[in-house]
Structure 1
Amino acid sequence: MKRTMILLLSMLLLLLAACGKENEQQAFQPGAPVEAAFTLEPKELVAGDTVTFSVKVTQDGQPVDDAKEVKFEWWKDGQEKHETIPASLQGDGVYTAQQTMNEPGSYFVYYHVTARDFHNMQKTPFTVTNKAGETPGPGATPVPEAGADPSHDHGATGHANAETVDYHFSPADNIKVATPTALTVHLMKDNKALDKATVKFEFWRGTDQKHSFVDATETAAGQYDGNVQFPTAGDYTVKVHVEKGEIHDHKDFSLSIK
């Protein structure tokens, strides 16, 4: 009888341990990916119109109203300067922002959605036409013909090649001197996540000759993280290096460490 009780107790303990391990594994299962659906209104824009950028954010088909950050980045084709405007939650997972488009031409807009440990971004082209009866002024960007596929290098300064990489650099908030800090970069190519790339962060202060390098790890499709420690305060340059197949690209970003 005593042996039977011991055997039953042992089996019960093993069963409880197995259940606990299974529950622990379930608890650490990653959540479903966050999805984003972008629209802009009106679809046919005339110079002077106000466009509404909108993105609906969902997870498992349910609206996400607690996104950490939603913003829209837009620029005119051929211009290096990009404008970024924050989005406001309208409810039911819909975030919007408005912008008046004063000049005709070809434009691009990126939505950036950071929510529940996911980051989504995608580039969309759009066109602003002249007002009826007006002609473009000198130096105006020509409006493409219907069906044209304009392109814009939102990527690197440096290597000139046909492979355009789009970057979204996200350093941690409140970076402190001599403290390990997370740097994150999201990479896109042809509006798809650039995964399985070799990515490095190179950084240096001001005109310092010594540069430091840190390997980045891909933590999600197209998302690369690295831990960097800035030894002293000052203005730093962080160069993101990307290699995959024939892609050899880089882009510089500025950081001020206090």
Structure 2
Amino acid sequence: MKKWLFALIAVPALLVGCGEKNEQAALPEPEVPEIPEVEILTPKEVALNETIELVAHVEQGGENVDDAIVKFEVWESGKRDEGQMLDGKLDKDGVYKATTTFDHDGVYYMYAHTTANGVHNMPKQQIIAGSPDMTQVLPEDEKDNSMDHNMMEHNHDTTDKDEHGEQEKDEKNHH
């Protein structure tokens, strides 16, 4: 009789214990940080041979971010390979700055590469230095699109060659 009484008490106790474990397993997943909001505050038109401040304000979740990593990438239109990367330093209240100088007329581009809490954002801005001849400047977006198109064509050609090569191998194996 004692064994039956023990079984009647032990089984429900075990079931209650299992129920608690399931509740612990259903904890909410950690939140993924929001994409940082980066507002570029650098003027879009600047003078030649003067120190220019590259400035970006970083917020995440509506709050200033004072521990972000900000790198300003600057290059002249059509010469991205010759560009430079400048470390942004925290000034105050989520505002990061770096300085540069433009020594000749031209259209320049700047990315504010920003990483906050493991999430990256990189807004882009055009900067006109001095008085460039705008008829001689190729907009950066058109250049990027043509490069993407050429890469797609190149990949397509490679695929065709691979397929033809496989066909030739199959034909040789059948003879």
TM-score, normalising length from structure 1?
Answer: 0.48
Q: 1:164 offset after TM fit, Å?
A: 4.2
Comparing both structures, which one devotes a greater share of its residues to helix?
A: 2
1:77-116 to 2 correspondence within 5 Å? 77-79=77-79, 80-116=81-117
Q: 1:40 offset after TM fit, Å?
A: 0.4
| Structure 2 CA distance for aligned equivalents of residues 153 and 49 of structure 1 | 30
Question: Match of 1:74, SS?
Answer: strand
In structure 2, do the counterparts of structure 1 residues 162 and 49 end up closer, same or farther at CA, with 3 Å as the change threshold?
same
| Structure 1 CA distance for aligned equivalents of residues 74 and 90 of structure 2 | 19
What residue in structure 1 maps to residue 21 of structure 2? 17
What residue in structure 2 maps to residue 151 of structure 1? 140
Deviation per residue, 1:8-38 (Å, 9 max, x gap): 5523x23422332122x423x4222222222
In structure 2, do the counterparts of structure 1 residues 149 and 162 end up closer, same or farther at CA, with 3 Å as the change threshold?
closer
> Structure 1 regions of 5+ residues with no counterpart?
131-141, 156-160, 166-241, 250-258
| Structure 2 CA distance for aligned equivalents of residues 118 and 154 of structure 1 | 28
Question: Match of 1:7, SS?
Answer: helix
What residue in structure 2 maps to residue 31 of structure 1? 33
The percentage of aligned residue pairs carrying the same residue is: 26
| Structure 2 CA distance for aligned equivalents of residues 51 and 30 of structure 1 | 36
| Structure 2 CA distance for aligned equivalents of residues 85 and 111 of structure 1 | 10
In structure 2, do the counterparts of structure 1 residues 61 and 78 end up closer, same or farther at CA, with 3 Å as the change threshold?
same
1:132-171 to 2 correspondence within 5 Å? 142-144=132-134, 150-151=139-140, 162-164=146-148
Pick 1 or 2: higher relative contact order, CA cutoff 8 A, min separation 6.
2
What residue in structure 1 maps to residue 167 of structure 2? none
| Structure 2 CA distance for aligned equivalents of residues 45 and 96 of structure 1 | 16
TM-score, normalising length from structure 2?
Answer: 0.68
**How many residues are treated as equivalent by the alignment?**
148
Q: 1:53 offset after TM fit, Å?
A: 1.4
The 8 Å contact of residues 53 and 72 in structure 1, kept in 2 or not, is answered as: yes
RMSD across aligned positions (CA):
3.2
Question: Match of 2:134, SS?
Answer: coil
What residue in structure 1 maps to residue 12 of structure 2? 7
| Structure 1 CA distance for aligned equivalents of residues 18 and 57 of structure 2 | 47
The 8 Å contact of residues 114 and 120 in structure 1, kept in 2 or not, is answered as: yes
Comparing both structures, which one devotes a greater share of its residues to strand?
A: 1
The 8 Å contact of residues 128 and 143 in structure 1, kept in 2 or not, is answered as: no
